[in-house]
Amino acid sequence: MARSPAIAIASGKGGTGKTTVAVHLAATLLFRKQAVQYLDCDVEEPNGHLFLKPTIESSASVGIPVPVVDAARCIACGKCAEVCEFNAIAMLKKPLVFPELCHGCGACALVCPVGAIRETPRAIGVVETGRAGSIRFAQGRLNVGEPLAPPLIRAVKTRREPAAVALYDSPPGTSCPVVATVRGADFVVLVTEPTPFGLHDLALAVATLRPMGRPLGVVVNRADDDRRVQDYCQAENLPVLAELPDDRRVAETYARGELIFDRLPDWRGRFETLWARIEERT
Amino acid sequence: MKELVVISGKGGTGKTSLTASFAALAPNAAFADGDVDAADLHLLLAPAVRRREEFRSGHAAVLRADDCVGCGRCAALCRFEAIAPATRPGDGARVFAVDPGACEGCGVCVWNCPVRAIDFPERVCGEWFVSATRFGSLVHARLHPGAENSGKLVSLVREQAREIAKQERRDLVIVDGPPGTGCPVIAALTGASGVLVVTEPTVSGAHDLARVLELTGHFKIPTAVCINKWDLNPEQADGIEAAARAAGATPVGRVRYDKAATRAQRLGQTVVEAGPDSLADEIRAVWKNWIGTVAP
Amino acid sequence: MKVVLTSSAKTLADPIDMHFGRAKVFILADTETGRAVAHDNAQNLHAAQGAGIQSAETVARLGAEAVVTGSVGPKAYKALQAAGIRIALIEAVCPGTEALRRFKDGELPVLDQPNGESHWV
């Protein structure tokens, strides 16, 4: 069976409607009786569950491997501290490990000449999987105060079920967590709004994602008569997949955590068209 | 000198628009844009750049394809999915290549390559600026696309803004912080005198606020909460303020949902400059209340 | 006894740097002979993370038994403890000579818990 596509939904600026687009694409696919899986990769602030209201069936701790030094074997040569790029090991009288700084690269264990370092997982968050009706659901929740999102994002993506269309809800911004989410996606939807902030951050996101070689498309949310985003897209040869009109009823529906679909049936066609435009590009 | 940081948890709650208005209201302050991933404050403050510096952080693996023997040890050891097989342009040989976007900069491949074919130069991750604006000096930055360690850049921007505030004898630094609860937010918060969380009365806003308050509680920073667009869901707004109080934070006011905020943004102005007065007054009240909680 | 002072520049006449981890210069002073040698800490100053830990390592390598500074973060504190290095706390910026004199006279309290902020993480 052919592998279903993975679509990443991203945005440079936060709060442009990324999660709204992602959960409604999931609902659209469900309506069309296509297998769909929603994967919330916005592990710092996972919000898709507030709208899809899934039943969580399993939860697994995700850790990164951090070193533990066997004092009996350690010859205090200091090579582990020397090789650590993240300053997570200090060579004092013996090696002292700072697990919270460790990126889990394994350099120390590899370099130790006497095999005194073994690695044990340090939990950084959880991956939860379940179902919202027929929508398959997975999300990562990063422990509050934990700086390393990409390993958890990679763990969420391992829960992907190839038979279903995967929707990756990306974190906002342009740095490493976004890159970790978008890697391996077949298509990237960038959600923006027609404001100077929206346009500026869209351009940053395009600069980040273009070199990754994934096809991109833009959704203009809360569209009004300001056409600068559309003009930018035309100049950059980026397809505008949808213009979702500014509608206070949508903002109020979102505020309550309800699907626009259920409250405003006139909106269903907009997401159907959006999906059709994504599908013809994957 | 006090350092006040504006954050939001959830993106798009109006954090930067409010911060810009605060900049207009603070008589003797320096400013920092700590949202280095998607810095927008400069769009409202129109900075004239006075100083520009490169931001370097960590290292990146760069594989010399000409010297690669294609053994694949680097790819086997890399835990960040950053090394993949490639074809050498000249002779079509199977070699390996590093994906700079995925490289964590750990050096494992560099130290373990049997033919030392991988270089490990310092990574230029972006640049930062010191600028003059109509409200005072602004330190801002631009992270290169997909670059890492924005936390360090946030710290740097804050540090430089404090330095400038000291030189200019300012009594306040106002920082526009990043969204989320991760590394850059922690970097924006540590050691601050006070933090304002700008949220909105949506289920996402409430959910993310709870996570952010956990973080500010962890760092024991006096925390105020402002509800932007409160009239989208007045009940939810009440609930958020109650939850904020329960978590030890102080509600300092509400700002209504008004397209005038977008109009001001399109003019490149703050709301307190562009008006209308009724909306500007709500923001003034939030500012006054917040300052009152941190500078008695 | 060898002691390290965190300094803003290269001589004992220069003001103390109040921050341990990202201090610009470490001055290694010998309390008996009065000899003082400056060691640049710029590399740690710009460390991506763990500057305090690296600084503690440097101080240990210099053979100091004590460090005179204004604030020590939690990770640097842990590292200095592990190295058996005493932390003498100075409460305000002053020239290195004065800090050294007060250290020798036993006027500076010993820091028994971290008093600085972790910069991130």
C121 contacts B191? CB cut-off 8 A: no
pLDDT category at A282 given cuts 50, 70, 90 is confident
How far apart, in whole angstroms, are the C-alpha atoms of residue A51 and residue A35?
Answer: 19
Residue pair B251/B245 in contact (Cβ under 8 Å)? The answer is yes
Q: What percent of chain A has pLDDT over 90?
A: 79
How far is it, in rounded angstroms, from Cα B96 to Cα B64? 9
How many CB pairs (< 8 A) connect A and B? 178
Query: How confident is the model at residue B162, as a pLDDT?
Result: 94
Instruction: Give chain C positions within 8 Å (CB) of A101.
Output: 49-50, 53, 75, 121
A98 touches chain C (CB under 8 A): yes
| pLDDT at residue C118 tops 70 | no
CATH superfamily, domain C2-86+94-104, is: Dinitrogenase iron-molybdenum cofactor biosynthesis domain (3.30.420.130)
Among A90, A94, A101, beta carbon nearest to C57:
A90
| Nearest chain C Cα distance for residue B190, angstroms | 6
C117 contact residues in B (CB cutoff 8 A):
190-191
CA distance A148 to chain B (A): 7
b/e burial code for range C97-116 (CB count within 10 A of at least 16 → b)? bebbeebeeeebeebeebbb
Rounded Cα gap, residues A68 and A76, in angstroms: 14
pLDDT of residue B257: 94
Kindly report the three-state secondary structure assignment for every residue of chain B: CEEEEEECCCCCCCHHHHHHHHHHHCCCEEEEECCCCCCCHHHHHCCEEEEEEEEEEEECCEECHHHCCCCCHHHHHCCCCCEEEEECCCCCCEEEEECCCCCCCCCHHHHHCCCCCEECCEEEEEEEEEEEECCEEEEEEEECCCCCCHHHHHHHHHHHHHHHHHHCCCCEEEEECCCCCCHHHHHHHCCCCEEEEEECCCHHHHHHHHHHHHHHHHCCCCEEEEEECHHHCHHHHHHHHHHHHHCCCEEEEEECCCCHHHHHHHHCCCHHHHCCHHHHHHHHHHHHHHHHHHCC
Compute the distance between CA of residue C73 and CA of residue C111 in angstroms, rounded to an integer: 11
Q: Is A176 an 8 Å CB contact of chain B?
A: yes
CA distance B57 to chain C (A): 6
Q: Please state the domain extents for chain A.
A: 6-62+125-279, 71-115
Is B57 in Cβ contact with C120 (below 8 Å)?
A: no
Average pLDDT rounded to a whole number, residues A268-279:
95
Whether C121 shows a pLDDT value over 50: the answer reads no
| Strands in chain A per DSSP E | 6-10, 36-40, 55-69, 89-91, 95-97, 117-132, 135-142, 165-169, 187-192, 216-223, 240-245
Q: In degrees rounded to 5, what are phi and psi of residue A148?
A: -100, 95
Q: Quick one: average pLDDT of C48-75?
A: 89
Residue B138 to chain A, least CA–CA distance (Å):
18
What is the model's pLDDT at position C41? 86
Domain B61-120 has CATH 3.30.70.20: yes
Find the mean pLDDT for residues C21-30. 90
- For the stretch A181-208, pLDDT in tens is 999 999 999 999 999 999 999 999 999 8
Pairwise CA distance, residues B240 & B254, whole Å: 11
Distance CA B128, CA B126 (A): 7
Residue B149 has pLDDT above 80, yes or no: no
Tokens at A227, concatenated: 């056409």
Distance CA A228, CA A234 (A): 10
Chain B residues with beta carbon closer than 8 angstroms to that of A175:
37, 143, 146-148, 150, 184
Pick the more confident residue, A172 or A236.
Answer: A236
pLDDT of residue C44: 67
| Residues of B with Cβ-Cβ distance to A176 under 8 angstroms | 101, 146-148
CB atoms closer than 10 angstroms to residue A163: 12
Nearest to B149 among C48, C118, C119 (CB): C48
Pick B2-57+126-294's CATH classification: 3.40.1580.10, 3.40.50.300, 3.40.50.20, 3.40.50.970: 3.40.50.300
Phi first, then psi: give them for residue C57, nearest 5 degrees.
-60, -45
CATH class (in words) of the domain with range A6-62+125-279: alpha beta
- Work out the average pLDDT over A11-27: 92
Is the model's pLDDT at A160 over the cut of 70?
Answer: yes
Q: What band does A212 get if pLDDT is binned at 50, 70 and 90?
A: confident
The pLDDT of residue C113 is 84
Q: Assess C48–B contact: CB distance below 8 Å, yes or no.
A: yes
> Do the Cβ atoms of A252 and B204 come within 8 Å?
no
3-state secondary structure of A196: helix
Taking CB atoms and an 8 Å limit, are C48 and B57 in contact across chains? yes
Residue with structure tokens 């500012």? B287
CB–CB contact C49 A100 (8 Å): no
Please give, rounded to a whole number of angstroms, the shortest distance from the CA of A90 to a CA of chain C. Answer: 6
C-alpha span between B98 and A107 (Å, rounded) = 17
A233 Cα to chain C: minimum distance (Å): 36
Whether A191 contacts A209, CB under 8 Å: no
Kindly report which listed range (B23-37, B114-128, B144-158) carries the lowest average pLDDT score: B144-158
CB contacts, 8 Å: C84 with chain A? 93
CB-nearest to C120 from B56, B57, B186 is B186
CB contact under 8 Å between A174 and B38, yes or no, is: yes
Kindly report the number of other CB atoms within 10 A of residue B151's CB atom. 25
- Per DSSP, C82 falls in state H
Residue A147 has its nearest CB partner, among B108, B183, B208, at B183
Q: Strand A216-223 and strand B29-33: pairing?
A: unpaired
Do A96 and C82 make contact, defined as CB atoms within 8 angstroms? yes
Q: What is the mean pLDDT of residues B247-267?
A: 95
Domain boundaries, chain B: 2-57+126-294, 61-120
CA distance C51 to C57: 10
Would the CB atoms of C75 and A91 count as touching at under 8 Å?
no
Give the per-residue pLDDT at C47.
Answer: 67
Nearest to C121 among A93, A96, A100 (CB): A100
Closest by CA position to A54, among listed A39, A44, A33:
A39
Q: Which amino acid is residue B54, in one-letter code?
A: E
The minimum CA-CA distance between C42 and chain B, rounded to whole Å, is 14
Cβ atoms of residues B108 and A105 within 8 Å: yes
Domain boundaries, chain C: 2-86+94-104
pLDDT at residue A128 is higher than 50? yes
Is the pLDDT confidence value at C120 over 60? no
Nearest CB partner across the interface for C83, out of A93, A98, A100: A93
Residue C119 confidence (pLDDT) above 60: no
CA distance B155 to A276: 44
**Fold type of domain A71-115:** Alpha-Beta Plaits (3.30.70)
Q: What percent of chain C has pLDDT over 90?
A: 61
Is 50 exceeded by the pLDDT of residue B296?
A: yes
> Which member of B58, B186, B191 has the closest CB to residue C121?
B186
pLDDT in tens, A45-86: 899 999 999 999 999 999 999 999 999 999 999 999 999 998
